[in-house]
A and B are shown apart, each in its own frame.
Chain A
Amino acid sequence: MKKTGAQILCEGLIERGVEVIFGFPGGVLLPLYDTLPQYPELRHILVRHEQGAAHAADGYARATGRAGVCLATSGPGACNLVTGIANAYMDSSPVVAITGQVARPFIGKDAFQETDITGITLPITKHNYLVLETEELAQIIEEAFHIALEGRPGPVLIDIPRDVFTEEVEAEKLGITNHRYKPKTGGHTVQVEKAAKTIDSARRPIIISGRGIIISHAAQELTELSSKAQIPVTTTLLGIGSFPGSSPMNLGMLGMHGAKHANLAVNNADVIIAVGMRFDDRATARFDSFASEAKIIHIDIDPAEIGKNIACTIPIVGDARVVLREIARLIQPQTHDGWLSQIREWQEEHPLPDVEGGEELLPQYVIRKIWEVTGGDTIIVTGVGQHQMWAAQHFTCDRPGSFISAGGLGTMGFELPAAMGAKVGRPEETVWCIAGDGGFQMTIQELATIAQENIGVKVAVIDNRFLGMVRQWQEFFYDERYVATPLSGPDLMKIAEAYGISSQRVGRREEVVPAIRRAMEHPGPFIIDFIVRSEENVYPMVQPGGSLTDFVEPPSKILSLLK
C-alpha cells in the first residue's frame, strides 16, 4: 500500500506514543496539516508563536519523561523554534522538533521561506536530519525519538521538505533497522569499587545531585546512598526535586544563589559525589577554587561532561540509577555526626532571609504561601531571574519532576509555554507557573493558547516593575544605575480580561493566601498579579568571579558587622 510522507510522519509519531503536537502551520506544512484530521489520536495545539511550541514541548517532556513534539513551518517558523531548542539542549530535555522545508528542487535556491535550519541548529541539537528521501522518513522518525530519549536526552530536529509530505511511497518497504546509538549505562566495575572505597574512607562527604537523577529515575537509589552512609545532599537548580526537599539531609541548592551552608559544605568536603550534573559555573563559582580539598567522584552518562569544567578523581560513565544502586550496595553503613553538626552550625549562622517583611509584600512570601496552600503537591515552572531563584530557595520540592526551570540557557519567557506543556502532559496535576513581570511578557501571547484550549495553568506573576535580576546586579556592581531595567505596564488585569482569563491583583500580605485558594478552586487557568517590593534582592549571593564561599552581603548585614 502506498502512503504519503505526511501519513508516514503521523503514523510514526503515533507509533512512538505521541499524543500531542504543539505547532503552528505555514505554507510548506499545508499537506501535513491537511493530513492531520485522518489521525484524531494526535492532538494538535495551536500556539501563537513557535517559541511557545518549543518551550511547551520542553515543559511537556520534563513533566512526563516522554519526548515532547513541536512543529513549525520553514524559514521564520523554524527560526522561531531556535531559542526553545537551545533551551532544551542546555537542560537535556527530549524534544523532537519537526520543521517543514521548501520542496527539494528549491533547496539551496534561496526560495521563499527557505532557511538552513539543520545548519542553524547544528550546535544546539543532539542530532538533526534533513529528509531527502521519503523512503527514509519512517526510519528517521524512529531514530530521532530513540536519540532524543536515550542516554543524555536532548532535542532532535527533523527538517522535511514539502514534496516529501506529498510523495507517495510503498509503505511495506519501510523496514526499520537497528539503532547504532547505544549509550553505555553500567559503570565500570573497578571505578565503582574505587568510588565505594573512597566513600567509606570519607570524613566530610557530600552528594551534589543534578537533573540526571530525575531523568534516570534514581531518586530512590540516591536516598538509599545518602541514608546508608549518612551523606548530606545538595542539589543543583535542575536537581531540585531529585532528593526530598523536606529531608533534614537536604541542604538545598548550591551555587551562586545557593544556601550558604550548602556552599560551605561543598567547599569544605573531603569527598564529593557529583551525580547527573555538569559542574555549571553557576553551581561551582570559580572553577579553580572549587572544593580544592575534595576527592571528586563524578557520575554522568555523558562522557564529555567528565573533566570538562572540573577535574575529577574518579570518573564513572553510566546511568545514575544503575551506578548509584551498585555504590549503595558496596559501601559500609556509617555516620558522620560531627560533619553534620558542623553543617547545622553553618546553617544556623546563615539562615535564609526572612520572608515576612514589613509594609510591602515580599516575593519570597508569595512563593512560601504557594507552597503552603498547595502542600507542595504541584508542579512549579519558572523562567529565569529573581523569581526563579526565590522559587528555588523557598519552594520545598519533594518529588522528582515537580520543579521545571530554564536552567542552562536561562530563557526569559520559558515559564508560561513550558507550564502549558507540563499541564497538557500531566492534566491531573496542579501546575503553577511562577513568572517575572519581564519574562511573562516575552511569551505572553500563549495566554491565547491557554484560553482557547482551556489549559488550567495557574500563573503567579512576581511583579516588581523591574527586570529584577539585572537591576540587582546594577545595584551591586554598577552604583545603582538602573539602565534599561525599570518596566511600566501593561495592566495585567486588562491583559487577562482581553484573553478571557480570570485574574486577581494582590498587593497585601493578607490577600495572598485567599487569592492562591481562589486560583486553585477556579476551574481552568487563572492569573494572579502579585505586586511585590520592587527592589528586593536575592540572597545569599556569591560574588561573581569569586569562589563558592565569597558571599555578597546585604547592606543591613554590613552595617551590623561594622557596629
Chain B
Amino acid sequence: MEKHIITALVEDKPGVLNRIASLFRRRGFNIQSLAVGSSEQPGLSRMTIVVGGNSRVVEQVRKQLAKLIEVIKVSDLSGESFVSREFVLIKVKTNRETRGEIIQLAEIFRANIVDVAPDSLIAEVTGDEEKVESLIGLLRRFGIKEIARTGCLAMTRGERSGNGKHLL
C-alpha cells in the first residue's frame, strides 16, 4: 500500500483530535501514524498524519479533513520536497557481552543511550523511517523489550509553508 504524509493545521480546541479520528474511522481510512503538537501560531496545532491508500483515497482524506470547520489547512506532502523525522525510544535487553556492541551500533546511528540498567538499556534515535527501521532491525537479535515511537513529523523544505489558506 502506498503511504502518504498529510499535514493539517487545526484549531487547538477540545474534541478536534476526536473529530479527526472519528472521520478516519467513519470513512474507513487507514491511519498509520498521527502526531500532534502546538504549531508556531498560538491557538493552532499541527498534525502530521501518515495514511495508507492510493492517491484517490488520499485525495478524499485531504478533502474530508478540509471540510472540518476546525481544520484550517491540509497539505499532502507527496510530490513535494520535504523532511520527515520520527523520534523513537527502544529498550533493548543487554548483558556484559552485548552491551558494547549495542552501544557501538547506537553510535553509528547517532542514537543516544538515555538509560542503562543491569539487563537492559534505552536508546533514543531520531531519523526518517528507513533509518529508524534499520536500527530496530539490527537491535532485534539482542531482544527488544519495548518500543515507543512519536510517529512521523514532516515539513516541506525551503520557502513554502503550511500556514496559508485551504488548498481548495
Contact between chains at B22 and A308 (CB < 8 Å): no
Chain B contacts for A306, CB-based, 8 A: 63
Select the stretch in A96-104, A122-130, A346-354, A375-383 that faces chain B: A122-130
Q: Which residue of A lies closest to B26 (CB)?
A: A123
Q: Which residue of A lies closest to B59 (CB)?
A: A307
Q: Known A126-B69, A127-B69, A303-B63; judge A317-B19 contact (CB<8 A).
A: no
Q: Main SS of the interface on chain B?
A: helix
With most chain B CB atoms within 10 A of its CB, the pick from A181, A303, A317 is A303
With most chain A CB atoms within 10 A of its CB, the pick from B26, B60, B168 is B168
Contact between chains at B67 and A304 (CB < 8 Å): yes
Minimum distance in angstroms from B145 CB to a CB of chain A? 35
Of residues 1 through 49 on chain B, the ones whose CB sits less than 8 Å from some CB of chain A are: 14-15, 18-19, 22-23, 26
Contact between chains at A147 and B69 (CB < 8 Å): yes
Give the contacting residue for B19; candidates A122, A130, A302, A311; CB below 8 A: A122
With most chain B CB atoms within 10 A of its CB, the pick from A119, A147, A304 is A304
A118 interfacial by beta-carbon distance below 8 Å: yes
A426 interfacial by beta-carbon distance below 8 Å: no
A184 interfacial by beta-carbon distance below 8 Å: yes
Q: Known A147-B69, A181-B69, A308-B60; judge A303-B19 contact (CB<8 A).
A: no
A19 to B92: give the CA distance in the assembly, Å. Answer: 68
Q: For the side of the interface on A, what is the size category?
A: 10 to 19
Chain A contacts for B68, CB-based, 8 A: 127
Contact between chains at A302 and B59 (CB < 8 Å): no
Contact between chains at B60 and A304 (CB < 8 Å): yes
Minimum distance in angstroms from B157 CB to a CB of chain A? 27
Give the contacting residue for B60; candidates A119, A130, A307; CB below 8 A: A307
Give the contacting residue for B66; candidates A126, A304, A308; CB below 8 A: A304
Chain A contacts for B96, CB-based, 8 A: none
Query: Can you add 16 more A-B contacts, CB < 8 Å, to A122-B18, A303-B66, A311-B56?
Result: A118-B15, A127-B69, A127-B70, A130-B15, A180-B72, A184-B168, A303-B63, A303-B168, A304-B63, A304-B64, A304-B67, A306-B63, A307-B56, A307-B59, A307-B60, A317-B168
Interface residues of chain A, those whose CB is within 8 Å of chain B, are 118-119, 122-123, 126-127, 130, 147, 180-181, 184, 302-304, 306-308, 311, 317
* 23 examples of A-B residue contacts, CB within 8 angstroms: A118-B15, A119-B18, A122-B19, A123-B22, A123-B26, A126-B69, A127-B68, A127-B69, A127-B70, A130-B14, A147-B69, A181-B69, A184-B168, A303-B66, A303-B168, A304-B64, A304-B67, A306-B63, A307-B56, A307-B59, A307-B60, A311-B56, A317-B168
